[in-house]
A = this chain, B = another copy of it.
Amino acid sequence: MTTNSYARPSGRAHDELRQVRITRNFTIHAEGSVLVEFGNTKVLCTASVDEKVPPFRRGSGEGWVTAEYGMLPRSTHTRSDREAAKGKQSGRTQEIQRLIGRALRAVFDLEALGERTIVLDCDVLQADGGTRTAAITGAFVAAQDAVNGLLREFKVSRNPIREPVAAVSVGMVEGTPLLDLEYLEDSACDTDMNVVMTGAGKFIEVQGTAEGQPFSREQLDTMLELAQKGILALQDKQREALAG
């Protein structure tokens, strides 16, 4: 990989994350409540502990982790219809919340969690690309806060979270590989890839989609390397926030 001809609207380097901020205790009722910002993308992630499990888990001794995702109607450039008013969640919404749920579940030891559910609600207050990767990154911190509460209250005897998880988007825009796409870049890109990784540097999800030109194996490799770099930086941000 050599040329990086595409000039990013923000002036960022092609392998540079947006400014990332993770604010804990953003609201008061949830067991974990995090506002995560990837530049202008702002997602409120709450973790709620429910002392029940879904029917398919009852009596198993194991817990469950699930996620829901939503966008406020005017979180976007033009107003989107409210899904509650339309009476159903779009395919996109369902796809994203299934992704967030799988990503978080992958780092949980559900037996250690015990028969309870952690529900992660990720609501986009302001969107500028990368809402699903910001959501996963923030939901991990909210989940950790909720789990810390369970540990403090002796409801669980060992930490049910095995390792951190974070996510980032990468893409090819006009032949240039870019890290952490913002909305304008996302609209223009040929390939959009979302990568979810653990703290140990292994993959939980790799989802690459050619929006324009199909991508070669070489481009795939380049994007995976960019993603790995970005996720390491995001995990530093998560650690700082949890230490703060």
Question: Which residues in A have some Cβ–Cβ distance to B below 8 Å?
Answer: 27-30, 33, 40, 42, 44, 46, 48, 50, 68, 70, 72-79, 82-89, 91-95, 97-98, 102, 106, 119, 121, 123, 125-127, 193, 197-198, 200, 202-210, 213-217, 220, 224, 228
Q: Are A208 and B203 in contact (CB under 8 A)?
A: yes
Known: A27-B125, A202-B216, A204-B214. A95 touches B93 (CB 8 A): no
CB distance from A8 to the nearest CB of B (A): 19
A72: nearest residue on chain B (CB-CB)?
B123
A86: nearest residue on chain B (CB-CB)?
B84
Q: Are A27 and B203 in contact (CB under 8 A)?
A: no
Which 6 A-B residue pairs are closest in the complex by CB-CB distance? A202-B214, A91-B94, A83-B84, A46-B74, A48-B79, A30-B74
Count copies of this chain in the complex.
Answer: 6
Residues in B whose Cβ lies below 8 Å from that of A89: 84-85
Q: Are B200 and A74 in contact (CB under 8 A)?
A: no
Docked complex Cα distance between A78 and B213 (Å): 33
CB distance from A70 to the nearest CB of B (A): 6
Docked complex Cα distance between A80 and B77 (Å): 28
Docked complex Cα distance between A88 and B98 (Å): 16
Residues in B whose Cβ lies below 8 Å from that of A72: 44, 46, 70, 121, 123
CB distance from A167 to the nearest CB of B (A): 13
A224: nearest residue on chain B (CB-CB)?
B217
